[in-house]
Amino acid sequence: MLLEAQMFSIKEVAKFLNLSKRTVQRLISSGELPAYTVSSSKRISSIDLERYLRGETVVDPRDESWRQTDLF
């Protein structure tokens, strides 16, 4: 299955959500909205933006802190 995702700038996301750029930056800093660094600027994928809008928890695949090490 091929997923086609677009990447948006902070400015584009802010305009779409009717928020300030600073608010979008805070969402990124808090981990609520994942962003990726592309050529020294932050980009948000359309898939992650959709998940955020649906209220789904977005897990960063690079973050393994959610894994439980002790089973008992």
**pLDDT for 70:** 53
Q: Distance (Å, rounded) from C-alpha 53 to C-alpha 36?
A: 18
**pLDDT for 62:** 58
Mean pLDDT of 29-38: 92
With bands split at pLDDT 50, 70 and 90, how would you rate the model's confidence at 1? Answer: very low
Percent of the chain with pLDDT over 90: 61
Cα–Cα separations (whole angstroms), residue 40 to 9, 30, 47:
12, 19, 21
Domain chopping of the chain, boundaries: 7-54
36 forms beta bridges with: 43
Q: Cβ–Cβ contacts within 10 Å for residue 69, how many?
A: 5
Lowest average pLDDT, out of 4-13, 25-34, 61-70, goes to: 61-70
| Check whether domain 7-54 has CATH 2.20.28, yes or no | no
Residue 57 or residue 45, greater confidence? 45
